[in-house]
Amino acid sequence: MKPADLTSRQKIQLAFEMHELGCAMMRENLRRRFPDETDEERERRFVEWLQTRPGAEQGDAVGRLRPVR
């Protein structure tokens, strides 16, 4: 099935699934890179990564910038 054949609902569902997979992969990456850290410390690193990913400092999409809180 090509992306053009997907319904809007299927596309958004796929996007959410890809996001969840990406988060799981990054968490595993952090677990391997920092095996001596606690789960809380690695989760802090994960959240920091989500907010400051290289190449996405201003977000991932074109449009108005929102302040980082």
Tell me the domain boundaries of the chain.
8-51
Q: What is the pLDDT of residues 4-16, one digit of tens each?
A: 888 999 999 999 9
Residues 33-55 have pLDDT tens digits of 999 999 999 999 999 988 887 76
* Cα gap 57→60, rounded to integer Å: 8
Q: What is the mean pLDDT of the chain?
A: 86
DSSP code for 5: G
Q: What is the DSSP letter of 4?
A: G
**Measured between alpha carbons, how far is 61 from 52 in angstroms, rounded to an integer?**
14
